[in-house]
Amino acid sequence: MLKRFISKYVLIFLLLLGALVVLAQRDGLWLSLLQPTPAQNTVHLSCPKLQLGCQFTIEQTQYRIIADEGISGAKPFTVKLEGRAGRVEGSWQMQGMEMGPNNYRFIANGDTAWQAKMVLPMCTQSRQDWLLILNIDQIQVQIQTSSDAS
């Protein structure tokens, strides 16, 4: 009798858990968990060749971003950020194209140096126009750049 009672409640629990998973999947909860921390402000920057570096300012703090080499979809590359921050995250997107989750957390190397090893998402249209979206302490920086031919 006790065994049957426990089995009944375990089955109900599993059904409720399954329903929650289905609802979370339908409402896109899993994708929202994979997205970088949402930013409150946005800074726009054009940096045609990331390997040459670019500078920008957020709330009187100077930043410099640079890639260790030309970016391409063929191999990983390192992006370095210089400037004070508590947390830095980044992802690659293209205008009008869903690139899927490709979120990177920058690792601190001292007080003002950050870096992340990155790989461009696969682009099936051979486009080279990219948008690097950085979240620096809740401020979003959208950097327009381009990749080298792969």
What is the DSSP secondary-structure string of 45-86?
A: EE-S-GGG-EEEEETTEEEEEEESS---TTS-EEEEEES--S
Environment class of residue 71 by beta-carbon count within 10 Å: exposed (0-12), middle (13-18) or buried (19+)?
Answer: buried
Q: What is the DSSP letter of 128?
A: -
Instruction: Please give the single-letter amino acid code of residue 15.
Output: L
pLDDT of residue 14: 64
pTM above 0.85, yes or no: no
Q: What is the DSSP letter of 110?
A: S
Q: What is the pLDDT of residues 63-107, one digit of tens each?
A: 999 999 888 877 899 999 999 999 999 999 998 888 888 999 999
Beta bridge partners of 63: 56
CA dihedral (64, 68, 70, 74) in degrees, to 10, reads -130
